[in-house]
Chains A and B, each alone.
Chain A
Amino acid sequence: MPDKDRRPILEVKNLFYGYAPPSGFSIFISYFSLYVGETVLLLGPSGGGKSTLLNLISGVTRPDSGSIEICQQSMRDLSASQCDRFRGEHIGLIYQSLNLIPWLSARENILLGSAFSARRRARLLASSPVAHANGLLDSLNMPYEKFANMNTENLSLGQQQRVAAARALIGSPELILADEPTSALDDENCNEFLQLLFSRLDRSRQSVLMVSHDRRIAERFDRVINLETLFGGEA
């Protein structure tokens, strides 16, 4: 399918961001786009600017120059608090580990995903947010009768990551950002995690951008881009 027929969900142009000395580290992306329904893996080592990139895309950090558009909305035009709300509405985030708030139950952690977004709550067509979260738990091979009220500290690493995926998915945000979500998982849990994440993805409107150094997952993605290539030019 030629690019021009597809809508980008994320478009990055001439993005530059540099840290102040002494680190002096900087990243530059001349062009990058992610299309609706697309799953992209950015492969790169730790310390390669992944966190900075995620902070830039999610609007927490402002670029020194260049533009980032998500769902046709330029992040530059949003105030800091509008950015926060926009992130809550349109982006679901998954971290490498320690994704969950320890004083919330598994279900409460999932519900957190739509807690700050009326739009995501409104998209939960099924009865109530709680029922929806229960459904998500079930689909993650975590029967809600057993897991919904469980303390997250009693969950295995793989279960924790799946709950984090459910939180990112609840209310169907357009962009799922994932920062090394599988690197702490063994092969079995890694496969289960990706399978569940992709199976719950609505390809007609949602996209995944994952950053990782984990090469074993590359085959599951529509596109794989090396971080060095990305920072060097276009993708």
Chain B
Amino acid sequence: MNVVGLSFRSLRSRAPIVFLVVLNLSLSIALYIGVVSVERMSRASFENSISGVDLILAPRGNDMQILLYTVFNIGEPGGLISGDSLDKVAQDPDVDWLVPIALGDSFKGFRVIGTTPRFFDAIEVRRDQPLQFAMGQQFNGFFDVVIGSRVASDLGLNIGDAVTIQHGMGGINTASHDRLPFQLSGVMEPTGTAFDQVVLIRIQALEGLHVGWRNGQELMGLSSDDIISQMGLRSNYASNAAFVGVKSPLKLFSVQRRISELRGDALSAVIPGVGLAKLWQLIGSVEAGFQFIAMLVIAAAVISMVAMTMASLDSRRRELAILRSVGASPMHLVLLLLVESIFIAVNACLMGIAISQVGTWVGSIYLEKQFGLVVGSGLLHTEDLWVLVYVIGAAIGASGIPALKLYRRTVNDGITVKL
């Protein structure tokens, strides 16, 4: 029976209160891990939104704004890029592909994006993971519509259903392009990105349905046949923005430079990663606030552990004297206290990990449904383990206070039993 054995037996005798202290500490650790995991998941969700896209082309403007309206469906586009400018960029020898994006209309509150079939090959939602179809297929007919998983689940649409595109972002009296035979051809798999909440149509169809419109009013609409015959699948169209892939990452900056030097439209070429980093800086301060609060909760739990130890010292005066009498030095007793704290902290860490894993697993079902956040597998990262090291360190450090009290007391009391 050594000091460690004595510590365990002493803890066992106070099992109910020790359990509560462990629970307290473990919940605070779970909270911290939860906050960090949610931060990591939302960051991953951010970054997944546009993997595979090297540059976002848009009329000159603020990087973050461009990112928000092209990738996150937030805000309004800044203007148009002419078909000629798009062609010039597309013909750049280092550009691999270009997918135009035309915005402005909606379908029952979901944003409509006019684009080309290339969209489905080029966009990746996670590294090297192209968009997949849960039902149906991509554009075949001229008026085909593809929707994101969230649109499908919210509206309960089936392949072949008619879709009525509304002019603008919706509202009570907005005009509808209700004469045009848009119909659903495909539903995408959930991606955990903003693409779950979009309605995709051919860019030529989007442009065609606005021919004859002025100031949000239909003056002289074209029939569907007219649109097809006029617009056809012509390759010259204007768009609000475009996703661009380059042939080699090494050429990224030269392509970006050439785009900004183009004559004609003033264009921005945003590197998504750079834009995301700026955006993240903005959101990051909120995350840091949450992390700070979670750390305070951990600190409070450590303090409550110390309080328990301090309180127990008074009732343990007798046993400390007995231990001194059989040859334990004050350092032995301090060690006894430290082993108890370490035991509590280590158990709290293990329990905290378990709670956080179960919690995120349960929470992930909700998160994915509500926010489209896809929870990855490896929730616990090595950097999280540092938190555990800090917690154990803090527990040991904080035990210094009761340890000092105990040391002074045992030196004073000696082997005399005081009650």
Residues of A within 8 A of B (CB): 51, 54-55, 58, 60-61, 80-81, 84-85, 87-89, 93, 95, 98-104, 108, 111-113, 115-117, 167
Contacting pair B9 A103 (CB below 8 A): yes
Contacting pair A112 B1 (CB below 8 A): yes
Contact of B416 among A51, A87, A102 (CB under 8 A): A51
Residues of B within 8 A of A167 (CB): 326
Q: Does B324 contact A (CB under 8 A)?
A: yes
Residues of A within 8 A of B327 (CB): 84-85, 87-89, 115-117
Contacting pair B415 A60 (CB below 8 A): yes
B22-30, B266-274, B328-336 - interface stretch: B328-336
A115 and B326 in contact, given A61-B414, A103-B12 (Cβ under 8 angstroms) = yes
Residues of B within 8 A of A116 (CB): 326-328, 332
Contacting pair B325 A87 (CB below 8 A): yes
With A and B bound together, what is the CA distance between A104 and B10 in angstroms?
A: 8
The residue of chain A having its C-beta at the shortest distance from the C-beta of B320 within the complex is: A101
| A–B Cβ pairs within 8 angstroms, 5 of them | A100-B322, A102-B319, A103-B9, A103-B14, A108-B9
A129 to B: closest C-beta gap in Å: 8
With A and B bound together, what is the CA distance between A55 and B1 in angstroms?
A: 25
A104 and B9 in contact, given A55-B415, A111-B1 (Cβ under 8 angstroms) = yes
Question: Quick one: which of B294-321 are within 8 Å of A by CB?
Answer: 318-319
Contacting pair B414 A115 (CB below 8 A): no
Contact of A60 among B319, B326, B332, B414 (CB under 8 A): B414
Contacting pair B319 A54 (CB below 8 A): no
Residues of A within 8 A of B322 (CB): 95, 99-101, 112
Contact of A84 among B12, B14, B329 (CB under 8 A): B329
Contact of B326 among A55, A61, A88 (CB under 8 A): A88
Per-residue CB proximity of B1-42 to A under 8 Å, as 1/0?
A: 110001001101110000000000000000000000000000
Residues of A within 8 A of B323 (CB): 101, 112
Q: Does B417 contact A (CB under 8 A)?
A: yes
Per-residue CB proximity of B321-354 to A under 8 Å, as 1/0?
A: 0111111111110000000000000000000000
A125 to B: closest C-beta gap in Å: 19
A20 to B: closest C-beta gap in Å: 13
Q: Give me 15 other A-B pairs in contact (C-beta within 8 A), A55-B414, A81-B329 excluded.
A: A80-B330, A84-B330, A93-B415, A95-B325, A95-B417, A98-B419, A101-B323, A103-B13, A108-B1, A111-B1, A115-B1, A115-B2, A116-B327, A116-B332, A117-B327
With A and B bound together, what is the CA distance between A54 and B414 in angstroms?
A: 10
Q: Which 8 A-B pairs have the closest CB atoms?
A: A88-B327, A103-B13, A60-B414, A116-B327, A84-B329, A93-B325, A101-B319, A55-B414
Contacting pair A55 B416 (CB below 8 A): yes
The residue of chain B having its C-beta at the shortest distance from the C-beta of A151 within the complex is: B13
B393 to A: closest C-beta gap in Å: 26
Contacting pair B326 A93 (CB below 8 A): yes
With A and B bound together, what is the CA distance between A12 and B332 in angstroms?
A: 29
B54 to A: closest C-beta gap in Å: 67
B136 to A: closest C-beta gap in Å: 69
With A and B bound together, what is the CA distance between A99 and B415 in angstroms?
A: 11
With A and B bound together, what is the CA distance between A194 and B12 in angstroms?
A: 34
A113 to B: closest C-beta gap in Å: 6
The residue of chain A having its C-beta at the shortest distance from the C-beta of B319 within the complex is: A101
Residues of A within 8 A of B9 (CB): 103-104, 108
Residues of B within 8 A of A99 (CB): 322
B322 to A: closest C-beta gap in Å: 6
Contact of B325 among A58, A61, A80, A111 (CB under 8 A): A58
The residue of chain B having its C-beta at the shortest distance from the C-beta of A92 within the complex is: B326
Contacting pair A85 B329 (CB below 8 A): yes
Residues of A within 8 A of B330 (CB): 80, 84
The residue of chain B having its C-beta at the shortest distance from the C-beta of A164 within the complex is: B322
Contact of B324 among A60, A89, A103 (CB under 8 A): A60
The residue of chain A having its C-beta at the shortest distance from the C-beta of B418 within the complex is: A51
A84 and B328 in contact, given A54-B415, A55-B415, A58-B415 (Cβ under 8 angstroms) = yes
With A and B bound together, what is the CA distance between A117 and B1 in angstroms?
A: 11
Residues of B within 8 A of A104 (CB): 9
Residues of A within 8 A of B13 (CB): 102-103
Residues of B within 8 A of A60 (CB): 324, 414-415
Contact of A88 among B2, B328, B331 (CB under 8 A): B328
With A and B bound together, what is the CA distance between A103 and B16 in angstroms?
A: 14
The residue of chain B having its C-beta at the shortest distance from the C-beta of A103 within the complex is: B13
The residue of chain A having its C-beta at the shortest distance from the C-beta of B318 within the complex is: A98
With A and B bound together, what is the CA distance between A51 and B416 in angstroms?
A: 7
Residues of A within 8 A of B324 (CB): 60, 84
With A and B bound together, what is the CA distance between A108 and B329 in angstroms?
A: 19
With A and B bound together, what is the CA distance between A124 and B186 in angstroms?
A: 84
With A and B bound together, what is the CA distance between A51 and B418 in angstroms?
A: 11
Question: Quick one: which of B194-208 are within 8 Å of A by CB?
Answer: none
Residues of A within 8 A of B318 (CB): 98
With A and B bound together, what is the CA distance between A100 and B321 in angstroms?
A: 11
With A and B bound together, what is the CA distance between A72 and B419 in angstroms?
A: 34
B208 to A: closest C-beta gap in Å: 84
The residue of chain A having its C-beta at the shortest distance from the C-beta of B14 within the complex is: A103
B65 to A: closest C-beta gap in Å: 66
Residues of B within 8 A of A100 (CB): 322
